[in-house]
Structure 1
C-alpha cells in the first residue's frame, strides 16, 4: 500500500520536469486514485501497520543488542566492565541507510501531511482544486528557500527507503529470505 502510494505521489512531482500544465494534469488524474476516502483509509492502515512492525523490529534489535553486549561483558576477563560499551548490531551499509532513511521520513511525514492535506483546507475554498501553484505560493511564505532542501532530503530518503524496502519485501515474500533484525 505505502509503496504504491509513494510511487504515484512521486510520479506527479517528477512530471514537473515537463512543465506546470503536465504536472497539474497528472496530479489531477492520480489524485482521483489516491485521494479518495477508501484509498486514504487503506494508506493510513498500511502506515500504522508499518510503524507497528518497525517498533517491533526495533524492540527485537535492542533486546538482541543488549544480549550480545552482556555476553561480551561476561566474556571479558578484565575487571573493567565499564570499558565495554553498548554497540548496535552489525548490519549492511544498505540496511543502515534504509533505517536512517526511515527515521528521516518518519520525522518529516506528519509536517508533510499537514502541508498537503490540512493547510489547503485552511487557505482555500476548495482544497481539492489546488495545484502546483499552491506549492509555489508556499515558497513565498517560508524564508531561506527551505523547500528545495526539505524536498530533496525527504525525496532522497523516501526513494531509498522505498527501493530497499520493496527489494527486501520481495526477497522475504517470494524467495524465502528472512527478516533481518540485526
Structure 2
C-alpha cells in the first residue's frame, strides 16, 4: 500500500513544461571556436604513444625483422658476386687467356678474400641470408598451425606448408652447390696447404682438365641456378616481379608478361657471359703443373 502511495506522489510532483523551439543559430559566429579563443595548449600536436620492445626497438613482428635481414644480407653478398663474376668470367672473356687474367684476380681478391673483409662480405651475409629465409618459412608455418588450431600431429599434417616460390626453390637448390664450390676452392686447399692464397684460375682450369664431367656439370648448375636466383631476387627487392604488378585486366596481364620476359632475358644474358668466360676460357685452360 505504501508503495502505491509513493508512486502516486512521484507522478504528482512532476511538472509538465511547454515545448520550446530549438535555436537555429549558434550563439557565436561559428560552431568552432575562433583562433583568438585558442588556449596555449591547442597548438601542440597530440602524438600517439609509440610502443617499443624491452630492447628499445619498435614493436614489429618477427617477420618484419627476418625479411629485412634476408633482404639486406643479399646486398653485401651481391658485392662479392659482382667481383667474382668480373674475375672469373668477364676478364678472362676479354683477355682470352687464363694467364693474363691472373693478375686482375690478384688485384681484386684482397677486397673480398682477406681475413677481415671475407667474413663481412661473404660468410656472415650468406649465413644470415639462408638462416633468415629458413626462419621465415618456419615462423609462417608455426603461425598457420596456430591460426587453424592444430594440436596434434594428425592436425599438422592436414595443414599445408606455406607456398614455396620459384625464387626460394632456386635458393634452396643453390645451398649445396655453393657449399660444394667452397669445399673445393677453400676447404681442400686449407686442409692440404694451410690456406687458399695460392688458389687461382689455373687451379680451376686444372680441376676442369682432371675431372671434366664433375666440373662442367657442377659449375654449370652453380652458375645458372645462382644467376636466376639472384636476378629474380633483385627483381623482388625492386618491386619488378610479375606478382607485384598492381594493374588489373588486360593491361596488368601485359605488364606481367613483359616483366617475366625481361627478368628471364637478363638472367640468360648474365648466365651466358659467366659460362662463356668461366667455362669457355678458364674451363678449357688445361692442366697446370704443381697440382695433382
Q: TM-score, normalised by structure 2?
A: 0.46
| Structure 1 stretch displaced more, 152-161 or 24-33 | 24-33
Count of paired positions = 156
In the superposition, relative to structure 1, how do residues 125 and 61 fare at CA in structure 2: closer, same or farther (>3 Å)? Answer: closer
**Is residue 2:245 matched to residue 1:167?**
no
Pick the aligned partner of 2:132 from 45, 53, 62.
53
| Structure 1 stretch displaced more, 2-11 or 20-29 | 20-29
C-alpha distance in 1 between matches for 2:185 and 2:136: 30
Match for residue 118 of structure 1?
187
- How big is the alpha-carbon RMSD for the aligned residues of Structure 1 and Structure 2? 3.1
The question of whether the paired residues in 1 share the 8 Å contact of 2:185 and 2:196 is answered with no
Please report how far the alpha carbon of residue 151 of structure 1 lies from its aligned counterpart in structure 2 after TM superposition. 0.7
Please report how far the alpha carbon of residue 148 of structure 1 lies from its aligned counterpart in structure 2 after TM superposition. 1.0
Show CA shifts across 1:22-67 (max 9, x none). Answer: 4323321220211112211202221222122112211134335657
Show CA shifts across 1:127-181 (max 9, x none). Answer: 4133211112223443x6111111111111111222222232344xxxxxxxxxx
The question of whether the paired residues in 2 share the 8 Å contact of 1:12 and 1:23 is answered with yes
Match for residue 137 of structure 1?
206
**Is residue 2:85 matched to residue 1:10?**
yes
Match for residue 157 of structure 1?
225
In the superposition, relative to structure 1, how do residues 120 and 90 fare at CA in structure 2: closer, same or farther (>3 Å)? Answer: closer
Q: TM-score, normalised by structure 1?
A: 0.69
Query: Which secondary structure state, in structure 1, belongs to the residue aligned with residue 174 of structure 2?
Result: helix
In the superposition, relative to structure 1, how do residues 23 and 105 fare at CA in structure 2: closer, same or farther (>3 Å)? Answer: farther
C-alpha distance in 1 between matches for 2:108 and 2:174: 22
C-alpha distance in 1 between matches for 2:86 and 2:176: 22
Match for residue 44 of structure 1?
123
- Give the gaps of 5 or more residues in structure 2: 1-75, 150-156, 240-292
C-alpha distance in 2 between matches for 1:98 and 1:22: 36
Which of 1 and 2 has greater Rg? 2
C-alpha distance in 2 between matches for 1:125 and 1:89: 44
In the superposition, relative to structure 1, how do residues 125 and 85 fare at CA in structure 2: closer, same or farther (>3 Å)? Answer: closer
Please report how far the alpha carbon of residue 88 of structure 1 lies from its aligned counterpart in structure 2 after TM superposition. 4.8
Show CA shifts across 1:92-130 (max 9, x none). Answer: xxxx22112111221122221121112223455874133
Match for residue 81 of structure 1?
none
Say which structure is richer in helix. Answer: 1
**Is residue 2:101 matched to residue 1:23?**
yes
C-alpha distance in 2 between matches for 1:168 and 1:146: 33
Query: Which secondary structure state, in structure 2, belongs to the residue aligned with residue 24 of structure 1?
Result: helix
1:67-106 → structure 2 map (5 Å cutoff): 87-90=160-163, 96-106=165-175
